């Protein structure tokens, strides 16, 4: 296997608008390469297993106080909530990194995990934290909480969807490939998640042990990328809590970061790719 590793970050970390532009442009370039993706029958394709692990000292977990609806949002009375931006487990295993092929033009039909295409708002957290949704078909969103939430989308899709009723699914169609950033406009400022809207199925989200696997890959040479949403708070912004009609402070996060390698996939064989990520 031939590998080439690079690190990419946004240069101007002081500008929130720049961060969104970088995220959208980052995946827009990938989407352009994938725009002609063609479904074929893959016989005896290859497999790419691997891991994503953290290298170096782990950053301090990001936390915020639970300032609203404590009975629903903090049933165990912790008083603080971790933001889930960087999940590092045993032996440096990184959960919720996205690993995908950037330059594949044909392969199997879409088979992304169903659980990554449905979003729940549960105890004032987005579950799951990272979603993989095909372009076009409807994303399904609900709230398990008996309080008002809104799902504010920015990036490859822009929307603000209220959820005043419990356990009612709302379908959302996402027409453009890219990254969609999620926040709550009902005063739950710690709520955050990311949707990757994609045009092919060769994407995987790492589990709690940092593992991923891409199956049924046609033989060939590809670029494979490990993407992470970013793990720093740059500053805060003032936004309106639409429920209380008061101004609240909400965090602005650092730009996504990506690492890429080259991988050669052979028919019926398994080619392992491991990524080490961390501070530059």
Query: Is 275 a residue whose pLDDT tops 90?
Result: yes
Q: Is residue 116 part of a domain?
A: yes
Q: Is residue 188 part of a domain?
A: yes
Query: Is 13 a residue whose pLDDT tops 90?
Result: no
Mapped onto helix, strand or coil, the DSSP state of residue 142 is: strand
Strand order in the sheet with 6-8: 6-8, 257-265, 220-228, 98-101, 203-205
The pLDDT value recorded for residue 47 is: 98
Query: Is 177 a residue whose pLDDT tops 60?
Result: yes
CA distances from 19 to 5, 95, 169, 185, 269 (A): 22, 22, 30, 20, 39
- pTM for this model (two decimals): 0.87
Q: Is residue 194 part of a domain?
A: yes
Query: Is 128 a residue whose pLDDT tops 60?
Result: yes
Domain count, the chain: 1
Look up the domain containing 241 and give its range. Answer: 6-277
Q: Is residue 68 part of a domain?
A: yes
DSSP 97: -
CATH number of the domain within which 30 lies? 2.60.40.420
The pLDDT value recorded for residue 73 is: 98
Structure tokens at 275: 């990524």
Q: Is residue 180 part of a domain?
A: yes
Q: Is residue 221 part of a domain?
A: yes
Query: Is 232 a residue whose pLDDT tops 60?
Result: yes
Query: Is 122 a residue whose pLDDT tops 60?
Result: yes
What tens digit of pLDDT does each residue of 234-262 get? 999 999 999 999 999 999 999 999 999 99
The pLDDT value recorded for residue 36 is: 82
Q: Which parts of 156-272 are beta strand (E)?
A: 159-163, 170-173, 178-183, 192-198, 203-205, 211-217, 220-228, 233-241, 246-253, 257-265
Mean pLDDT of 108-131: 97
For the chain, give the mean pLDDT.
90
Cα-atom radius of gyration of the chain, to the nearest Å?
19
Query: Is 26 a residue whose pLDDT tops 90?
Result: no
The pLDDT value recorded for residue 35 is: 62
What tens digit of pLDDT does each residue of 152-170 get? 999 999 999 999 999 999 9
Q: Is residue 1 part of a domain?
A: no
What tens digit of pLDDT does each residue of 71-89 get? 999 999 999 999 999 999 9
As a whole-number percent, the residues of the chain with pLDDT over 90 amount to: 85
As a whole-number percent, the residues of the chain with pLDDT over 70 amount to: 87
């Amino acid at each position: 296997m031939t590998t080439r590793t690079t690190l990419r970050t946004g240069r101007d970390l002081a500008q929130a608008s720049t961060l969104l532009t970088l995220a959208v442009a980052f995946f827009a370039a990938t989407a352009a390469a994938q725009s002609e993706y063609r479904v074929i029958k893959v016989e005896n394709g290859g497999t790419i297993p691997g891991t994503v692990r953290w290298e170096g000292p782990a950053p301090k977990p990001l936390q915020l106080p639970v300032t609203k609806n404590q009975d629903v949002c903090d049933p165990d009375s912790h008083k603080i909530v971790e933001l889930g931006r960087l999940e590092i487990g045993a032996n440096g295993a990184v959960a919720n990194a996205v690993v995908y092929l950037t330059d594949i033009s044909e392969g199997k039909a879409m088979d992304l995990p169903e659980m990554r295409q449905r979003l729940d708002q549960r105890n004032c957290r987005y579950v799951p934290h990272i979603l993989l949704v095909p372009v076009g078909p409807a994303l399904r969103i609900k709230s398990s909480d008996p309080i008002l939430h809104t799902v504010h989308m920015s990036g490859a899709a822009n929307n603000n969807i209220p959820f005043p009723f419990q356990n009612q699914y709302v379908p959302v169609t996402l027409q453009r490939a890219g990254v969609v950033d999620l926040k709550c406009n009902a005063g739950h400022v710690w709520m955050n998640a990311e949707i990757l809207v994609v045009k092919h199925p060769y994407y995987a989200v790492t589990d709690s042990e940092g593992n991923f696997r891409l199956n049924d890959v046609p033989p060939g040479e590809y670029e494979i990328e490990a993407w992470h949403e970013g793990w720093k708070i740059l500053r805060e912004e003032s936004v309106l809590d639409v429920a209380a009609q008061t101004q609240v402070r909400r965090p602005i996060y650092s730009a996504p970061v990506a690492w890429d390698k080259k991988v050669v996939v052979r028919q019926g064989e398994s080619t392992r790719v491991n990524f080490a990520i961390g501070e530059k």
